[in-house]
Amino acid sequence: MSSSLPAFAQAAGLSEQLYRQGQELMKEGKTHDACAKFAASYRADNTAVGSLLATAACHEKEGKNAAAWGEYTAVASLAQRNGEADRQAYASDHAKALEPKLHHVVLATSFNVATAPEGFSVVLDGTTIDAGALNSQIPIDAGDHDLQVSAPGKTPVDKKFKTADDTNTDTVTIAELADAPKNQQTIIVKNEETTHLNKTKLALGVIFGVVGLGGVGAAVGLGLSASHASNASSDAFDKANKSGFNVDANGVCTGDGCSNYTYSKSAHDTASLDQNLAIASGIVGGLALVAGIFFIVTSPETKAAAPPPQTEKGASIKNLTVTPLFGPQMNGIGLGGSF
């Protein structure tokens, strides 16, 4: 119970604010806008009978006798329930005074309402009319009106009519609704697409892939060879130093360690060569491998199975839809599609 109190207080506060705005608009002579505020005030808090009474008085001043009469009648009923005798008498007197001024409309059905299909609906100016009110006088204000009649499986009807500012009674006939068009069959012609492999791309992908793997493999082998030669060069140079050697300006080696020195120098040159070849093979192999993957991935290609139909101007029609139409009010075919 306590959780609903804040919401109730908020609704009451909004209702009061709208009510005061309506009063200010009435003072400014803006009757139509004031009526809208009073009505919104009552919608915000449907216990605010004063807002409904103000709406009735506003509509009466605006010349909407039917709306005012209905609101005065509702106020009288609510006031009686709340034990507000003065307000009940005031509203009842005003409702009685308006009755001789009312214009009426009869929504007359050309069929027995009891036999109406399930879901049968009559909406007048946005308000649903109960089936019991059909074929009876309904108070209505002067002006333009919209009547919508519908039921599942039936063709809906939308009628426009106008009522005068007098005390007459108009009759608007509601005919039995026709069945909605039946036996509709939609044929959808789609532009199907097929996927196939581009053999040239696939072959290039395989070739580049093999070359790439070979290049990467060679780079690994040459890298290991370069590492081995470098280690051998270091070991031989250490042995040459232990044995002793000397190299003059002409590059001539003398001493017991010359044989190891010569081997160390040769191994170093081999290591440098293998290292450069490994780098080159790795780059070439990597690029070839990337190219091979690209060609293999892009080898599947999508292609339309058949060209789409052409219009007289040569524009293609996509997803053509052909719909045969049969019904009590139409016979033919419907065509649709995107261009």
Global pTM reads 0.50
Do 62 and 136 fall within a single domain? no
Do 210 and 279 fall within a single domain? yes
CA distances for 151 relative to 123, 133, 148, 263, angstroms: 12, 17, 10, 104
- pLDDT tens-digit profile of 24-47? 999 999 999 999 999 999 999 988
Do 72 and 19 fall within a single domain? yes
Per DSSP (E only), the strands in the chain are: 103-109, 121-124, 127-128, 137-140, 143-150, 157-163, 169-174, 187-189, 193-197, 246-247, 253-254, 300-304, 318-326, 331-338
Q: What pLDDT score was predicted for residue 314?
A: 40
Do 77 and 44 fall within a single domain? yes
The total domain count for the chain is 3
Q: What pLDDT score was predicted for residue 5?
A: 52
If one counts every other C-beta atom within 10 angstroms of the C-beta of residue 133, the result is 14
When pLDDT is cut at 50, 70 and 90, the band that residue 304 belongs to is low
Structural domain contains residue 329: no
Do 24 and 96 fall within a single domain? yes
The two structure tokens encoding residue 117: 């299909």
Q: What pLDDT score was predicted for residue 1?
A: 43
pLDDT at 101 over 90: yes
Quote the CA–CA distance of 24 and 56 in Å, as a whole number: 17
Structural domain contains residue 326: no
pLDDT at 187 over 90: no
- pLDDT tens-digit profile of 109-165? 998 988 888 899 999 999 999 989 999 999 999 999 999 999 999 999 999 999 999
State the residue range of the domain holding 125: 103-174
Quote the CA–CA distance of 214 and 212 in Å, as a whole number: 5
Q: Considering 174, 202, 223, which residue would you say is the last residue of a domain?
A: 174
Quote the CA–CA distance of 138 and 107 in Å, as a whole number: 8
